[in-house]
Structure 1
């Protein structure tokens, strides 16, 4: 090889180095960019050979960062949703404790002067405000639930868009590898950035095939991307509970598979599902539990009294109805009806009732624990925890029902009486008799909820529960933020662009270029000298 060839190989290497360095500098702020390093080797003859630009990418660190980012996104989403509930509980104007205290205070006015029409109308007005506030609070929770469903649909659509883009890049990368020398670094960076964004939506497992394609699956193995093919997720009406949505996986053949919430352990989807099941549903049930316990106790005591017209006390309040959903895949057409037999024993939870080979099984959905229940074959009635479930036919093995005894109680909390004279303050009907009014007032401090808490204590437990949950999620979020930042630092130390280092490389490759140009210039001078000797 001549001195010209050697110098030319050096110039080409210097040009490649300047290209690599300038590309790193120009992409210093590009999300997902991994810095490149020029790979050189000695030419088999003489001179230098450019082997390509190596992408500084560590798959292990990327996987760890993706997992940490997904967990952080899940906690952040959960915390954002939880703040909505905390804000309304902290607002005295929309809180329930104040209206309950005002209602019982108005009953004290009636007890102080049972014949006073103004006091009676004041109690009726407070009762209207009480029921309206509970309905308003329940409506707010329902709006949050509807918003969660909409956000789930948005996140699922985002997942589908990202998986389609990854599948398309898989195809482009394979084509590029077949037509160009070396790995298509730009395409690889784009694909890894998409995978990072996908990991912030759902919990995924990434496997690189021998061909270089990415295979991506959910935590249960449901395939999202295989080569240049992408499967789809879809939000559908839940088969067990048509009042909410669930997520199904649709494979490339069109077959659908329902996905359990446990499949989504990380990402925004996980945060939304966890908030809905662990916080929102629990709060709806707790508020419904208060309404049921109060309504039953108040109406029972009120019915023992006599109103101002000397008529027996009527039911003053009405709550909503229990809800029982048969699973959409039940084999039999049997329906079930749930009634509340003991309001003080009802727990703030939903249930699943399932027909097994050994009989009916009741499971609490908040804890997953099986509940002891008594079945009366003569009446086809199942009794447990203050509830009775009656079936209108024979069940097939595997049939199941979702019981929501409290979810709609506050939504339909109503005042039944229209006249203050209908308040049964007296036990005997005699003038000045206020015994029932006094007893109704004392219900404020009675352990009506689950037989061990007053209404104020039950509401206080709700506030404390949400506050504790906020603290726990916030603490976990801070810890996860620290871990994520550490992994980001590790990833940047390997893959990030250091401008100081690149500036030094620019000078080095510039001098390298100039030195090789000098080699060619020297060769030219020598050649001219030799030719002049002739």
Structure 2
């Protein structure tokens, strides 16, 4: 190879290197861009130089770790955002239930001091109205959060599908580019890896790489989301167990819509939302309902044991909704269950229950928060009693039928004061005189309920509410601590990734000068070659 060819090879190599460096500099702020390096090699037995390609500085190992950490951070961030709202609501010293419970029982003390005083009687009705209104307001707020989570799940599923479709499309474009040009399309690879990183923020993913470099992505229990050039859409759907609840499903090969278990998702925003709903939102709503039912049932029982101003037996003071029961959408029979609270609700819990029917085992009742089988009943049973409820079976269930029983989910939303006539307040006890106008014995008994273990037979109303507040507060603190630690780990991994794949402007500026000098030196080779040739031609003359 002549000196001219050697010089030209240097010029070409310098141009490629300058182009690569310039591309790095201009993409310093491009999300997902990986720094590129020109690979130079000796050409044909030492005769000049050649460019062996442009390689991007990308570590799949570090990227996988970063994506997993990002998925965990996104889950905790979604959880923390939601639980903070509940924590602020319940812990508010002015808007919380604690001062209203105290005010309600203080009005009972005023009534006991002056049982015939219309003002004292009206005061009790007023504090009861305020207390029940706050229960309903809390329940409305939590129910709005349930609907909000449903909407967010729908939005995230839409984004997941859109991102998966783009990844599948890039798999195709990358394969075509490799086949046509024989080179690696770095820009397309960067776009694909950036989409995988974004997808990791939405849901925990499992990435595998095929022999040809195509990406396969699965989620949940191994369901394929991207397979080569194909993507498989998820669907936001109503839960088969609870139609008010949005979950995630997918279409199988036969076109059937299959439902993912809620526990199938742990990472990403989707996992964070579902974990928050399952661990905190459902529990808080159930606990608040348990508190409302315990107040209503306990107070009603004592109020009905007394006599009103006219000496008539006391009536129910509070009303609340009865338990909700859903038949699973996959049931094959028309059987349904109905539930109502027992007079004694000491067995009432803040958990939902699943009732499964089989001919062999009869009715098996599972507590959903622990997964424990708490009761079994014979297949021919028409009435089931568990958890402070009486459940009636209507119709004949088919094999495998399931029913979801929610004792307290919306009980707080149905709590209201039934007594608006002051004369109906049963402050006295029947002594045979036919009047209770000046009797305060039942008012004292009602006041003493403040210190009675009405909730689950183990806690007073104030203690139970304090437990709810403390439980949410502790969980919020744990989530916040875990989020801070996870974000710290994510930043460390991002710094590690950037140290290898990120663009350093100082380094690239130095490379720009270096390759410029390389280009000038290669041009000098050609200049020297021309001078030598001119000299040789002059000698010939």
For the residues of structure 1 that align with 2:427 and 2:252, how far apart are their CA atoms? 66
Structure 1 residue aligned with 2:173: 172
Residue 450 of structure 1 corresponds to which residue in structure 2?
456
Using the alignment, how far apart are the partners of 1:198 and 1:31 within structure 2? 14
Q: Deviations along 1:300-325, whole A, 9 cap, x unmatched?
A: 11111111122111111111121010
Cross-structure match for 2:385:
383
**Matched ranges for 1:474-485 at <5 A:** 474-485=480-491
TM-score normalised by the chain length of structure 1:
0.97
Match of residue 371 from structure 1: 374
The alpha carbon displacement at 1:94 in A equals 2.4
Query: Would you say 1:488 and 2:490 are equivalent positions?
Result: no
Q: CA deviation at 1:465?
A: 0.2
Range with greater deviation from structure 2 (134-143 or 471-480): 471-480
1:389-408 equivalences under 5 Å are 389-408=391-410
CA contact (8 A) 1:425 1:436 kept: yes
Q: Is the 8 A contact 1:373 1:383 kept in 2?
A: no
> What pairs with 1:263-302 in structure 2 (closer than 5 Å)?
263-302=264-303
- Alpha-carbon shift at residue 92 of structure 1 (Å): 2.9
Please name the residue that 1:532 is paired with: 538
Counterpart residue number, 1:10: 10
Aligned positions of 1:223-234 closer than 5 A:
223-234=224-235
CA contact (8 A) 2:429 2:439 kept: yes
Shift, 1:397, TM fit? 1.8
1:510 to 487, 508, 516: 516
Three-state SS of the structure 2 residue aligned to 1:207 is strand
368-377 or 385-394, which moves further after superposition? 368-377
Instruction: Give me the whole-angstrom Cα distance separating, in 1, the residues matched to 2:531 and 2:308.
Output: 123
Farther-moved stretch of structure 1 (161-170 vs 385-394): 385-394
Structure 2 CA distance for aligned equivalents of residues 13 and 238 of structure 1: 61
Q: Are the counterparts in 2 of residues 383 and 389 from structure 1 also a CA contact under 8 Å?
A: yes
Cα shift at 1:376: 8.5
138-147 or 331-340: bigger deviation: 331-340
Are the counterparts in 1 of residues 57 and 501 from structure 2 also a CA contact under 8 Å?
yes
Structure 2 residue 503 is matched with structure 1 residue 497: yes
Deviation at 1:358, TM superposition (A): 2.4
Q: How does 1:250-329 map to 2 (within 5 A)?
A: 250=251, 254-329=255-330
SS in 2 for 1:95: coil
2:357 to 350, 355, 361: 355
1:219 offset after TM fit, Å? 3.5
Q: Distance in 2 between the 1:296 and 1:423 partners?
A: 16
Would the aligned equivalents of 1:57 and 1:494 in 2 still touch at CA under 8 Å?
A: yes
Which residue in 2 is equivalent to 1:49?
A: 50
Say if 1:231 and 1:252, in contact at 8 Å, map to a contact too.
no
SS of equivalent residue, structure 1 residue 346? coil
Change (3 A) 1:99 1:260: same
Q: Distance in 1 between matches of 2:477 and 2:219?
A: 30
- Measured after TM superposition, the shift of residue 194 of structure 1 is 0.2
**8 Å Cα contact 2:313-2:426 kept in structure 1:** yes
From 507, 519, 522, the counterpart of 2:528: 522
Alignment partners' CA distance in 2, 1:330 and 1:255: 16
Q: Name the residue aligned to 1:220.
A: 221
Alignment-derived partner of residue 19 in structure 1: 19
**Gaps (5+ residues) in structure 1?**
none
Q: Which moved more, 1:252-261 or 1:150-159?
A: 252-261
Deviation of 1:373 after TM superposition, in Å, equals 4.0
What is the root-mean-square deviation of aligned Cα atoms in Å?
1.4
With over 3 angstroms needed to count, the CA separation of the structure-2 counterparts of 1:305 and 1:208, relative to structure 1, is: same
2:287 & 2:49 partners in 1: Cα distance?
75
Partner of 2:421: 419
Contact 2:310–2:436 (CA under 8 A) maintained in structure 1:
no
Alpha-carbon separation, structure 1, partners of 2:82 and 2:279? 12
Structure 1 window deviating more from structure 2 (338-347 vs 319-328): it is 338-347
Counterparts of residues 242-253 of structure 1 (less than 5 Å): 242-250=243-251
Aligned to 1:344, the other structure's residue is in SS state: coil
1:407, 1:251 → 2: CA distance? 33
Q: Does 1:148 align with 2:149?
A: yes
Quote the residue 1:30 is aligned against: 30
